[in-house]
């Protein structure tokens, strides 16, 4: 089966939405953000509020439903939530229908972006957010690496540089 979609995976704040929007524009494809689709189901809440309200298991269920629904779409660029690929069913679905691009962002950059935000993600331990962030990052990184068709290192470079790298890989 020919993979007609491109899916960006990676940790929260790795640039999936920013790069995804630019990539879709450049390739003349539609852009879809799974977090945005979840938020549309729970207007006016944001993903952090939804996650806090319904819990991890229910949140992942909604995420899986959206990913499953996207199997029928073609010619799209998908930005998943940071945890969108942790369930095996999502890994299988996305790998069958997409080229998976992992935006590998250094832990220090992720910490800088997340731990300095005005509101911490609800999945972090309030008592020790840095340790829990490191633990989750390490766990998810293994999954991202094993699923990715292409890995792009996001080492503090500009989004344009990363976009150009992705375009080159896709040629």
Q: What is the greatest pairwise CA distance in the chain? A: 47
Query: Which of 1-5, 40-44, 79-83 is the least confident region?
Result: 1-5
Residue 60, both tokens: 């992942």
Domain ranges of the chain: 5-165
Percentage of the chain exceeding pLDDT 70: 98
- For the stretch 16-74, pLDDT in tens is 999 999 999 999 999 999 999 999 999 999 999 999 999 999 999 999 999 999 999 99
Position 156 confidence tier, pLDDT thresholds 50, 70, 90: low
pLDDT digits (tens, 9 = 90+) for 104-131: 999 999 999 999 988 888 899 989 999 9
What CATH number is given for 5-165 in this structure? 3.40.50.300
Alpha carbons 7 and 48: distance in angstroms, whole number: 22
pLDDT category of residue 1 using cuts at 50, 70 and 90: very low
Q: Read out DSSP for 15-40?
A: SHHHHHHHHHHHHT-EEEEHHHHHHH
DSSP designation for 77: E
Beta carbons of 143 and 104 less than 8 angstroms apart: no
């Amino acid at each position: 089966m020919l993979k007609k979609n491109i899916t960006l995976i990676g940790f929260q704040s790795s640039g999936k939405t920013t790069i995804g929007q630019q990539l879709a524009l450049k390739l003349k494809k539609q852009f879809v953000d799974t977090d945005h689709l979840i938020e549309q189901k729970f207007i006016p809440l944001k993903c952090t509020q939804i996650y806090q309200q319904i819990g991890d298991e229910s949140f992942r269920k909604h995420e899986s439903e959206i990913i499953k629904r996207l199997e029928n779409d073609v010619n799209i660029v998908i930005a998943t939530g940071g945890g969108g690929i942790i369930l095996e069913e999502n890994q299988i679905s996305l790998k069958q229908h997409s080229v998976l691009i992992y935006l590998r962002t250094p832990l220090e950059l992720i910490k800088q972006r997340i731990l300095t935000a005005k509101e911490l993600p609800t999945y972090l331990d309030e008592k020790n957010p840095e340790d829990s962030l490191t633990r989750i990052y390490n766990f998810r990184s293994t999954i991202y690496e094993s699923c990715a068709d292409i890995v792009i290192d996001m080492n503090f470079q500009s989004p344009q540089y990363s976009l150009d790298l992705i375009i080159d890989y896709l040629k």
